[in-house]
Amino acid sequence: MNNKIVTRFAPSPTGYLHIGGARTALFIYLFTRQNNGKYILRIEDTDKERSKLEYEEDILAGLKWLELEHDEFVRQSDNIEYHQSCLKKLIDNNLAYVSKEEVQKEGDREEVIRFRNPNKKITFIDLIHGEIVFDTTDLGDFVIAKDMATPIFHLANVADDMASGVTHIIRGEEHISNTPRQILLFEALGAKTMPIYAHIPLILDRDRAKLSKRKHGASVWVSEYKKNGYLPEALNNYLALLGWSPQAANNNEQGTDDEILFREELLKRFDIKKVQKKGAIFDIEKLNWLNREYLKNQTTEAVAKEINERCPARVKELPLYSTDKLIQLTQILIERINNYGELTDILGRGDFDFFFTTPHPSQELLREGTYLSQTIDIIKNLPVENFSDPEKIKKALWDFASEKGRALVLWPMRVALTGQEKSPDPFTVASILGKEETIKRLAHAEQILS
RNA sequence: GGCCCUAUCGUCUAAUGGUUAGGACGUCGCCUUCUCAAGGCGUUAAUCCGGGUUCGACUCCCGGUGGGGUCACCA
């Protein structure tokens, strides 16, 4: 007997990949892999008017970026003949009929195909919500096709699920009220077994409304997160935490307080039955935290590449600029950003321009220069090779600074090097600047003060 | 409005009917420190309301109220 689990993610290409869709895909992916099932990606493009290739491509690209690989791909429009045969079968069996319509708005037809609603109570089990009961009498004879050649959503959806043997329908909660109609169609088409449903609660914005275009700093489209330099594994991790918690135990694992979970861990701990019933507000702050955690684990090479790509042209034109030096800022920059996109902001703001152009600090900012000349002497005596390590520079200066008062030695030094009130520590800066430039700047500061 | 779903800190959430209602993000504070960032430590705050059932209710039942979804010749 074939009791393999079959699932599908069935977005319509009438918009870009939505963050909620990405989460649905993630949950479907995890559930399917946990059960060694088959995951079908089905593009529901029956609405020729609104479907666009551009959207389909965006959905595919987004899922690929998130590494949510499917096992099978179908484009619903390729099955149109099958849908038509299902429609014919329903009409032949008197389960659907051609209905004369009143034309109410532009584009309306005089005839459509309606399903003959048996008007009965439908009960189904939802993995997340439990038992749900509907009286289909309220639904009337709903439309299943515009004409014999063009079946629409409910019919196409059910026909495809049946044909590909989908066992579990995991989708957004907005489909809950579509379920009774679809069950009616499954029955009418003679389905031997009914799929099991799991309706995932919606992702909401700060106002508790369905997350929609760019409000409160949170983007809706997956591509935006990619563009803004979020890491796909961090986004996956965050999405998993929206509506599900690793604190809850499942059949195989105890709960854990650890929320930073890689794919493997998610696969072990996730439990579709433990998914929350209530809609969850998207919290960009928590995503930022997770992304920072993932950023820390990136290789220096990976970060350096991003820094180089996202550095504004203006900075690259500064007199002391070099790629090497930019790359040396990796550590400094990485702990100041939530995502790679902020690299452009932070570099663009000019906070780190002093690495690439000589600063001219004011007397006021430099404060006292009492120990500047002795600082210069110590630096001069330090072998050039020691400049590659900030710790060595620190060691050379530390005792002197401690003796004279660190604020009196280190503050003027740091300001001399950076020209700024706020900056990384003077040892790190000196190390990146190199011996010659460091001395030059300290001497320059001494001049300003004299 | 009808139907459906839903209700624990600001947010995401944990809690076989018996816990000082736990964790995370954020906030705030402290430590570290020449400044910033990072880091470490700590603090903060919640069971929607009203009835039941029970020795005992966040947990079960009923009723309100709030929030959400859906009512297409879209998906």
For the residues A287-311, what does the mean pLDDT come to? 96
Q: Report yes or no on A130 lying in a domain.
A: no
Q: Report yes or no on A106 lying in a domain.
A: no
Statement to judge: residues A194 and A268 lie in one domain: yes
* A98-114 per-position pLDDT tens digit: 999 888 778 788 999 99
Statement to judge: residues A59 and A196 lie in one domain: yes
Statement to judge: residues A304 and A182 lie in one domain: no
Statement to judge: residues A177 and A269 lie in one domain: yes
How does the average pLDDT of chain A come out, rounded?
94
| Alpha-carbon gap, residue A67 to A33, rounded angstroms | 13
Q: Which of A278, A297, A316 is the last residue of a domain?
A: A297
Statement to judge: residues A57 and A160 lie in one domain: yes
CATH number at residue A367: 1.10.10.350
Q: Report yes or no on A39 lying in a domain.
A: yes
Helix (H, G, I), strand (E, B) or coil at A448: helix
CB atoms within 10 A of CB A405: 13
- pLDDT for the residue numbered A123: 93
DSSP state of A17: P
The answer to whether the beta carbon of residue A291 comes closer than 7 angstroms to any atom of strand B is no
**Where in A29-187 does DSSP place strands (E)?**
38-43, 72-75, 96-100, 111-115, 121-126, 130-135, 143-145, 168-172
Statement to judge: residues A273 and A159 lie in one domain: yes
Query: What domain range is A313 assigned to?
Result: 300-355
The answer to whether the beta carbon of residue A157 comes closer than 7 angstroms to any atom of strand B is yes
CATH number at residue A240: 3.40.50.620
Rounded to two decimals, the ipTM of the complex is: 0.95
Checking each nucleotide's C1' against the CA of A275, the nearest proves to be B13
Statement to judge: residues A192 and A309 lie in one domain: no
The answer to whether the beta carbon of residue A114 comes closer than 7 angstroms to any atom of strand B is no
Residue whose C-alpha is closest to residue A174's, from A199, A194, A195: A199
The answer to whether the beta carbon of residue A134 comes closer than 7 angstroms to any atom of strand B is yes
From the CA of A228 to the C1' of B12: give the distance in Å. 22
Report helix angle A53-65 to A19-34, nearest 10: 50
DSSP state of A18: B
Checking each nucleotide's C1' against the CA of A206, the nearest proves to be B11
| Alpha-carbon gap, residue A344 to A44, rounded angstroms | 38
Strand B nucleotides below 7 A of a protein CB?
2-8, 10-15, 22-26, 33-39, 67-75
Statement to judge: residues A267 and A386 lie in one domain: no
Q: Report yes or no on A95 lying in a domain.
A: no
For the residues A300-305, what does the mean pLDDT come to? 94
* A17-76 per-position pLDDT tens digit: 999 999 999 999 999 999 999 999 999 999 999 999 999 999 999 999 999 999 999 999
- pLDDT for the residue numbered A1: 46
- Give chain A's domain count: 3
This prediction has a pTM of 0.94
The answer to whether the beta carbon of residue A106 comes closer than 7 angstroms to any atom of strand B is no
| Alpha-carbon gap, residue A185 to A396, rounded angstroms | 81
Residue whose C-alpha is closest to residue A260's, from A249, A269, A271, A250: A269
Statement to judge: residues A439 and A309 lie in one domain: no
Please give residues of chain A from 184 to 203 whose alpha-adjacent beta carbon (CB) lies under 7 Å from any atom of strand B.
201-202
Q: Are strands A38-43 and A6-9 parallel, antiparallel or unpaired?
A: parallel
Statement to judge: residues A15 and A59 lie in one domain: yes
Statement to judge: residues A332 and A223 lie in one domain: no
Statement to judge: residues A314 and A174 lie in one domain: no
